[in-house]
Amino acid sequence: MNLDFPTQEALTHCITDTNVPGFPKPYKGKVRDVYVLDSDKLGIVVTDRISAFDHIMKEAIPFKGQILNQLAAFSFDKVKDIIATHIIDVPHPNVTIAKKCDTIPIEVVMRGYLTGHAWRVYKSGKRQICGVDLPEGLKEHDKLPNPILTPATKAQEGHDEDISEKEILSKKIVSPDLWNDIKEKAFMLFERGSQIAAKQGLILVDTKYEFGLYNGQLTLIDEVHTTDSSRYFYLKGYEERQAKGDEQKQLSKEFLREWLMDNQFQGLEGQDLPDLPDDFRIKVFERYAELFEMLTGSTFKPQLESNLNDKLVSIFKDAQGQSKT
């Protein structure tokens, strides 16, 4: 990846925190700063913050916000015939103007492969996850006979917890009708995401969807099929690597998780968050950019941003103005 400016510039221009004069304080998620623009509109700023194991790293990744926001915009567009999406406008590489939805407090995780959390559950001897039965004889990263839905509760704090469909219904988190709708959409979305990935030489391993209601309509929110919400493998050589027991080449976020584990950090109590060295931050950026380019088939063009807060004032005012006309 050739940048038009020195890498040092990129490292020092990371967007870690926004504060837009004249607008109420944003809700700060791990990655996004979310501004309420009016009763039905959000201004979502995707920052360069990066999290892993539910911890925000001390250092940010250059242009990660732009890559993620634009990848989400690309992917939302590819699924809008399946379900209404929250996108109103993407007026800046870091910003999405979105429909303000009542969020459904479930992380709707879809898995096509036995990887990550599902593999850890399986390895511990269990043959069921979120109430879904798993066959005997699988190894890490094997393809599952069919994609499975493994929902998790969206915890206010700390780790999200697995939940079964039965519990979702018995706890009345959503009505049975709405749940059926969510399930149907999740399977359709995962199929679409897998097809798009395959065309580009990738495997969509697993992914997380978030849904909300906008004027009572089920709507896909947050982000979709991005490298933060999904795992991808390279399709080429996948079968051979599985047969030989070789590692699958991991992309972007998994690359960070592995580095952290090599540096004795898994988000457990008493462990210290390591500093991310500059050269590693650049490597992570390159992985994100590579995946963006593979998935979208277009080159990522970074936009060096020196005064985002000021720009956000006019972007947000415009968005507010549009709703009044």
Interface residue list for ligand ATP (CB under 6 A): 29-32, 34, 42, 86, 98-101, 103, 210, 212, 221-222
What is the number of the residue whose Cβ is closest to ligand ATP?
29
30/183 with CB nearer ligand ATP: 30
233/316 with CB nearer ligand ATP: 316
Encoded amino acid at 309, one letter:
N
56/235 with CB nearer ligand ATP: 56
Ramachandran assignment for 310, one of left (phi > 0), alpha (psi -120 to 50 degrees), beta (any other): alpha
End-to-end CA distance of the chain: give it in Å, rounded: 43
186/203 with CB nearer ligand ATP: 186
- Would you say 62 and 282 are in contact if contact means Cβ atoms under 8 Å apart? yes
149/220 with CB nearer ligand ATP: 220
Q: CB atoms < 10 A from the CB of 118, how many?
A: 25
43/62 with CB nearer ligand ATP: 43
Q: CA separation (Å) from 261 to 52, 95, 256, 317? A: 11, 32, 9, 44
* Closest separation in Å from C-beta 225 to ligand ATP: 15
* Closest separation in Å from C-beta 4 to ligand ATP: 29
34/138 with CB nearer ligand ATP: 34
2/156 with CB nearer ligand ATP: 156
* Closest separation in Å from C-beta 228 to ligand ATP: 8
Three-state secondary-structure class, residue 88: strand
Give the separation between CA 64 and CA 68, rounded to whole angstroms: 6
* Closest separation in Å from C-beta 244 to ligand ATP: 36
Q: CB atoms < 10 A from the CB of 305, how many?
A: 18
* Closest separation in Å from C-beta 226 to ligand ATP: 10
**Three-state SS string across 116-142, please?**
HHHHHHHHCCCCEECCEECCCCCCCCC
* Closest separation in Å from C-beta 58 to ligand ATP: 16
Q: CA separation (Å) from 160 to 117, 151, 174, 215, 306? A: 11, 10, 17, 27, 35
Side-by-side strand order, sheet with 41-46: 27-28, 32-38, 41-46, 95-99, 87-92
Residue located via tokens 């795992």: 231
* Closest separation in Å from C-beta 151 to ligand ATP: 15
* Closest separation in Å from C-beta 139 to ligand ATP: 30
Q: CA separation (Å) from 85 to 8, 13, 96, 216? A: 37, 31, 12, 13
